[in-house]
Amino acid sequence: MMRRKNLFWGMGIVVCILLVVGAVKLFPKIYIPAKDYPAIQASGILNVVTEYNSVGYYVSGDTIAGFQYELCRHIEKRSGLEVRISLENNWKSCLEKLNNNTYDIIAMNIPITNESKGSLAFTNPITRGKQVLVQRKPGVNDSLPLIRNQIDLARKTILVPARSPCILRLHYLSEEIAEPIYIREVDKYTQEQILYVIAYGGANYAVVDKKIALKNAKLFPNLDMNTDISFTQLQAWAVRPNAPVLLDSLNRWMADY
């Protein structure tokens, strides 16, 4: 009798496991409902993420300043919503939290590309920018030749922030020159922190946004930032693709900034 009970108990466990496995296969992702402007308006809170840097958001004395910060404050006044700003330098985390509704807007100068249009909805362009190569100047670069031609990036290792939009440009550039370009992604460094890494010899080459490079040029007199990696690109903020009403509202709020 005891053996029969144990047998039934064991069969029950197996059936439960099979049901769980089947459910995982049928429903591999947890459904996250779309969150558009009506839900945001009802909550009264607009959650925005940006990056801490000397161009977009920074602290000067006891004052917060920067282009992204000022634009967020403008949107707060225009919309009547409380704009809550979070700071992150991990692009992958920003995307994940945008898609799970933690953030409503990624407030950064994001290059608009065909690939990124597949996963993000962009506002009207707010600025133009380029990606530039960062390298040490002659005399402090361990006798490495200064790179001025993109062809000379062949077989070089380039430091970039993890999941940075510039990675796609480097892949295209690798195809154009028909040589590999090795990309080293770093999770915990901002673009400005990467400048320190190059300046002090932790790596030889990096790619950053030109505005960031120019803003910090005086701090790093041993760095050369005059080799363009990309053409001039339109840059914008991004929202979830399933938030068209928020996108339309955001464009209207931005129009008179």
pLDDT tens readout for residues 171-181: 989 999 999 99
| pLDDT tens, position by position, 136-194 | 998 776 778 899 999 999 999 999 987 777 888 899 899 999 999 999 998 878 889 99
Which part of the chain is CATH 3.40.190.10? 37-128+234-255, 131-230
Q: Is 28's pLDDT higher than 50?
A: no
231 or 28, which is more confident? 231
Distance CA 240, CA 220 (A): 37
Q: Look up the pTM and report it.
A: 0.78
Task: State the CATH class of domain 37-128+234-255.
Answer: alpha beta
Superfamily designation of domain 131-230: Periplasmic binding protein-like II (3.40.190.10)
Residue 46: the pLDDT is 98
What is the reported pLDDT for 158?
96
Answer whether residue 2 shows pLDDT above 60. no
Q: What is the pLDDT of residue 7?
A: 47
Nearest to 90 by CA among 104, 108, 68, 116: 108
Q: What percent of the chain has pLDDT over 70?
A: 88
What is the arithmetic mean of pLDDT over 57-73? 94
Residue 15 has pLDDT above 90, yes or no: no
Region 7-33: mean pLDDT is 51
Q: What pLDDT does residue 22 have?
A: 52
How wide is the angle at C-alpha 85 spanned by C-alphas 164 and 96, nearest 5°? 45
pLDDT at 25: 46
Q: What local confidence, expressed as pLDDT, does residue 140 receive? A: 75
